[in-house]
Amino acid sequence: MTALVSTIAEVQQAVGRARDRNLKVGLVPTMGALHAGHVSLIRAARAETGFVVVSIFVNPTQFGPGEDFSRYPRTLEVDLDICRREGVDLVFAPAAETVYPADFHTYVEVHELQDVLCGPSRPGHFRGVATVVCKLFNIVQPAVAYFGQKDFQQARIIQQLVGDLNLPLEVRICPTIREADGLALSSRNRYLNGEQRSHATVLYRSLQEVKAAVEKGERDPVALQRHLAERITATPGAILDYAEVRSAETLRTQPRLQGDVLVAVAVKFGGTRLIDNVLLQVGD
């Protein structure tokens, strides 16, 4: 049975009862418009924990002024059906005033990690993400929380905040779920028209080309970034935001690829901004 609650007291009651039954609590934070990517996180949570909480909240503080907050898809009934089918125990879908009452004044920032990659094009975005996720952790108090690699910078920022603030939970980063042609699933894919949708495969294809080049021995990040940029800018309708090859741990640039490496791209098609990445383990 999936229960739907909207207040913090109701979450705490339900989670408290689960904890009394010695159930391990898992949390999957989402903004709704659930797709197979979200479902993979729910399944990971179900496999590992005995009480799965999914939060559904389109978080206003992580959207910039020109971004899609008002038109972000809100599909609560369909989302609830998916949660029921997947055996979610509790759905927490709060009102904005519950999360951000009128006298709200505290924000969480993860410096350095929030300032690179998506940071410059989305000022304040990661501050909004870190703040809401920190609040969700405190409300639900999960033992484990699940995030998708698709938003790798977000997941790294959350890992960092959990460590820095000594939050007593584990963070799992789960693999990116893709369409058959490689496009990473995203609630924003529905904004693409047919032509944009077919050209959007350039993100995955160019990332795979970089992966192959690294496997063949390429270790120069600048050469790989140039390749990504060329492939993306040659694609009709695609506007490159960034194409970066960096340390997956620090998100800093490296003079030569070494260790855990993140290859990440952000591309706009019309008003729709898509991101994707691959992680590579690079030896000498």
- 126 binding ligand PAJ? (CB under 6 A): no
119 versus 221: smaller Cβ distance to ligand PAJ: 119
Q: Of the ranges 142-150, 191-199, 201-209, 266-274, which one interacts with ligand PAJ (CB under 6 A)? A: 142-150
Q: Which of 35, 38, 105, 227 is catalytic?
A: 38
- 31 binding ligand PAJ? (CB under 6 A): yes
Binds ligand PAJ by CB under 6 A, chosen from 25, 27, 59, 251: 59
Burial (CB count <10 Å: 0-12, 13-18, 19+), residue 4 = middle
User: How is 72-139 classified by DSSP, letter by letter?
Assistant: S---HHHHHHHHHHTT-SEEE---HHHHS-TT-------TTGGGSTHHHHSTTHHHHHHHHHHHHHHH
Contact status, residue 190 vs residue 196, Cβ threshold 8 Å: no
- 94 binding ligand PAJ? (CB under 6 A): no
- 184 binding ligand PAJ? (CB under 6 A): yes
- 29 binding ligand PAJ? (CB under 6 A): yes
- 147 binding ligand PAJ? (CB under 6 A): yes
Residues pairing with 178 in the sheet: 184
Rounded Cα distance, 29 and 178, in Å = 19
Binds ligand PAJ by CB under 6 A, chosen from 14, 26, 30, 52: 30
Burial (CB count <10 Å: 0-12, 13-18, 19+), residue 2 = middle
Nearest Cα neighbor of 176 from 61, 31, 41, 9 is 41
158: amino acid identity, one letter: I
Number of alpha helices (DSSP H) and beta strands (DSSP E) in the chain: 10, 9
- 186 binding ligand PAJ? (CB under 6 A): yes
28 versus 228: smaller Cβ distance to ligand PAJ: 28
- 129 binding ligand PAJ? (CB under 6 A): yes
Binds ligand PAJ by CB under 6 A, chosen from 117, 133, 192, 207: 133
Q: Which position's Cβ is nearest ligand PAJ?
A: 148
- 132 binding ligand PAJ? (CB under 6 A): yes
5 versus 213: smaller Cβ distance to ligand PAJ: 5
How long is the chain?
284
- 278 binding ligand PAJ? (CB under 6 A): no
105 is catalytic: no
Rounded Cα distance, 91 and 77, in Å = 12
Applying CB under 6 A, the residues found at the interface with ligand PAJ are: 29-31, 37-38, 40-41, 59, 62, 129, 132-133, 147-148, 150-151, 154, 174, 176-177, 184-187
Q: Which residues are catalytic?
A: 38
